[in-house]
């Protein structure tokens, strides 16, 4: 294990940025989101939850897919992947355990056949440096999904305390990144990390959502859950905004649209939200025409549909962003508690 004094982190960032892009949580206009690092940016590793999750790095909110250049009656199709900046390797720094797990969830969607090459391009060129949590809050419930917030995976795992950032490479990619920056580090830190993990675990176990019971969310209960009368009441306050889906690290729906430029058309994709009234809008109208149905779709997908297709892996990672950000305070935990049986009372 390696360690580096906190005050020298800037040197570390600069060193990494010398050879590749570096994305990490940066505070801008009061909010912390993943941004590309450059000298002078206010890095905020201590922030537990960035507003947007790092999924933006692989699956951006908007992404050009191709261009059509028109001249007179001729149309030229341009493959924009040729010019992807993201083909260059980059480092994603400071990813929390839950968000790292979320990337695994996305991988199962985008890297399964047919492979989404846009996603793949970025994914393969990234080295992910994770950061363990030391101050979880009441909305966290990653433990419910078997995630250890104190020991995230990733190419490199790091821990942060008052004085040092501790560094441990896990993979080949991680090793090669380590080799590049090793000169800034000193050895040691195992004890401090263990101590921190110990304390954090105690907090994690005492969190109000630590013992949510998911056992009822199984494929065999699909119909029963789908038809549950409680959906109506649970969803009545839902505004139909996309906050929960856009802050969610695992939501993966997108829409494809065209944008008219001065000399043609850009075809791009952008995040979509199942909360929106025009989600999966078809010529005949919308198959889910009430907000209740749309609301139900999101949670059924997270807790039942996705696991049933992915060996029981839930597509919620317990990051708690929706718990914090829903304008009307609806969230997946309230759904789990309502439909998840009496163990959740």
Q: Measured at the alpha carbon of residue 55, what is the angle toward residues 49 and 56, in degrees to the nearest 5?
A: 100
Residues 140-179, mask of contacts with another protein (x by CB under 8 A): ----------------------------------------
DSSP letters of 212-256? ---TT--GGGHHHHHT-THHHHHHTT----SHHHHH-SS---EEE
Interior/surface letters 70-83, b for 16+ CB within 10 angstroms, e for the rest: eeeeeeeeeeeeee
Map residue 158 onto helix, strand or coil: strand
Map residue 205 onto helix, strand or coil: helix
Residues 127-146, mask of contacts with another protein (x by CB under 8 A): --------x-xx--------
Which span (4-12, 84-92, 193-201, 284-292) binds another protein, by CB under 8 A?
284-292
Which span (63-71, 148-156, 189-197, 299-307) binds another protein, by CB under 8 A?
63-71
**Position among 271, 295, 299, 306 found at the interface with another protein (CB under 8 A):** 271
DSSP letters of 104-156? HHHHHHHSSSSP-HHHHHHHHTEEEEEE--SS--TT--GGGGT--TTS--SSE
**Position among 104, 172, 198, 263 found at the interface with another protein (CB under 8 A):** 263
Cβ distance to another protein smaller for residue 137 or 190: 137
CA 99 to CA 103: how far, in whole Å? Answer: 6
CB of 329 to another protein, least distance (A): 4
CB of 157 to another protein, least distance (A): 23
Q: How many CB atoms sit inside 10 A of residue 296's CB?
A: 23
**Position among 39, 40, 73, 229 found at the interface with another protein (CB under 8 A):** 73
CA 203 to CA 184: how far, in whole Å? Answer: 32
Cis ω for the linkage preceding 114 (within 30 of 0): yes
Which span (8-16, 22-30, 189-197, 215-223) binds another protein, by CB under 8 A?
22-30
**Position among 8, 28, 87, 88 found at the interface with another protein (CB under 8 A):** 28
For residue 312, state whether it binds another protein (rule: CB under 8 A): no
CA 224 to CA 77: how far, in whole Å? Answer: 48
What does the binding site for another protein look like in residue numbers (CB under 8 A)?
Answer: 28-31, 33, 48, 51-52, 61-62, 67, 69-70, 72-73, 78, 135, 137-138, 203, 206, 208-209, 233, 236-237, 239-243, 245-247, 255, 257, 259-264, 266, 268, 270-273, 276-278, 285-286, 289-290, 323-325, 327-330, 333-334, 337
């Amino acid at each position: 294990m390696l360690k580096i004094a906190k005050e020298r982190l800037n040197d570390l960032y600069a060193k990494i940025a010398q050879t590749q892009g570096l994305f990490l949580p940066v505070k801008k206009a009061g909010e912390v989101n993943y941004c590309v690092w450059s000298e002078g940016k206010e890095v905020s590793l201590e922030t537990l939850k960035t507003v947007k999750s790092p999924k933006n790095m692989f699956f951006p909110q908007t992404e050009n897919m191709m261009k059509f250049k028109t001249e007179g009656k001729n149309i030229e199709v341009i493959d924009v992947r040729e010019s992807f900046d993201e083909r260059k390797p980059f480092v994603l720094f400071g990813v929390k355990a839950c968000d790292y797990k979320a990337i695994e969830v996305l991988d199962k969607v985008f890297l399964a056949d047919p492979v989404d090459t846009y996603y793949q391009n970025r994914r393969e060129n990234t080295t992910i440096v994770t950061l363990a949590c030391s101050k979880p809050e009441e909305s966290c419930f990653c433990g419910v999904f078997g995630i250890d917030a104190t020991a995230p995976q990733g190419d490199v795992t790091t821990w942060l305390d008052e004085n040092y950032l501790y560094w441990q490479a896990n993979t080949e990619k991680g090793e090669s990144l380590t080799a590049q920056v090793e000169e800034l580090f000193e050895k040691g830190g195992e004890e401090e990390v263990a101590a921190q993990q110990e304390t954090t675990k105690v907090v994690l176990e005492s969190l109000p959502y630590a013992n949510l019971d998911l056992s009822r969310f199984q494929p065999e209960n699909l119909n029963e859950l789908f038809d549950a009368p409680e959906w109506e009441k649970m969803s009545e306050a839902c505004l139909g905004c996309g906050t929960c889906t856009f802050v969610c690290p695992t939501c993966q729906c997108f829409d494809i649209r065209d944008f008219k430029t001065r000399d043609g058309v850009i075809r791009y994709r952008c995040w979509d939200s199942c909360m929106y009234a025009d989600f999966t809008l078809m010529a005949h109208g919308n198959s889910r025409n009430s907000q209740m149905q749309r609301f139900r779709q999101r949670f059924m997908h997270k807790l039942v549909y996705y696991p049933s297709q992915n060996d029981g892996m839930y597509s919620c990672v317990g990051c708690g962003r929706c718990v914090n950000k829903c304008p009307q305070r609806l969230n997946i935990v309230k759904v789990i508690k309502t439909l998840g049986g009496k163990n959740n009372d």
